[in-house]
Amino acid sequence: MGAALGYAVTQPIGVTLLVFGALGAGMAAPVVALTQMPSLLRYLPRPGPWMVKLKEFLAFPMYGSALWLVWVLVSQAGSDGLLIWGAALLLILLLIWLGKQWRSARGLLWIVAAVVLALLLPRLSSLPPTANSTLIDVADEAEGIAYSEEAIAEALADGSIVFVDFTADWCITCKVNERIAIKVVSTQTLFEREGVVFMVADWTLEDEAITKALARFGRVGVPLYLVYRPDLSEPVVLPQFLTPKIIRDAVTG
């Protein structure tokens, strides 16, 4: 759905309304089907204790998401950021415990929590960014070079093909594409054989230059994949979901 929303907000109003209408219709379809055909209700599981167990089980994917977001935080703000996050979490847990001991003081405790968090969390944005954490495991030479318009122009002048990966540590689609299409041996072999210059535009901290580059191609976020070839005046814009074949076709023409 994120890809659909990202596409919709860059399109004319008619297309945007059509995309949002389709999303709404899809979400409403099960309820509409049940209201129009009540006989379908007998196929639904009956309420019972299983609902509580399911609710508790679904907490674990949420814990996993929290763990991933902590990893993103560390990649952005380093160990100092992790310490500030831990201190904020510890404070919240302490205030929850205190609230159970002194129920009459809950309002005051939450005011204290809000004030302390307001002082702690802005510190995260002032911490220096860590080194680019975008990893390519296939080979050291496949780690890519930092994106810049000058580097692209220089590579094209040398007759090289350029593959630009607009990515971010918090972008799930980007990470999946890296694992199944970019980092794979076949793609790295292709890059080496064709002399492809691999560039990484890391948008984890929403770099201004990368934001402008995304806007030029009608995008408000990542992923975005571009293939520059000396024989083309404009880069080839690849789909948001990649396969090795898609990359190979774009590189070899």
Sequence spans of domains, the chain: 2-43, 49-126, 140-252
The CATH code of domain 140-252 reads: 3.40.30.10
* Helix or strand holding residue 236 (H, E): strand 236-238
Task: Write down the pLDDT at residue 126.
Answer: 56
Task: Write down the pLDDT at residue 58.
Answer: 94
Per-residue pLDDT band at 12 (split at 50, 70, 90): confident
Task: Write down the pLDDT at residue 119.
Answer: 75
* pLDDT greater than 70 at residue 209: yes
Contacts of residue 211, defined as CB under 8 A and 6 or more positions apart, other chains included, come to 203
Spatial contact of 162 and 197, defined as CB atoms under 8 Å apart: yes
Per-residue pLDDT band at 95 (split at 50, 70, 90): confident
Q: How is residue 152 written in tokens?
A: 């692209």
Mean pLDDT estimate for the chain: 84
Give the pLDDT mean for 221-234: 93
* pLDDT greater than 80 at residue 229: yes
Task: Write down the pLDDT at residue 127.
Answer: 56
How far apart (Å, rounded) are the C-alpha atoms in residues 226 and 196? 12
Secondary structure of residue 197 in the 3-state scheme: strand
* pLDDT greater than 90 at residue 185: yes
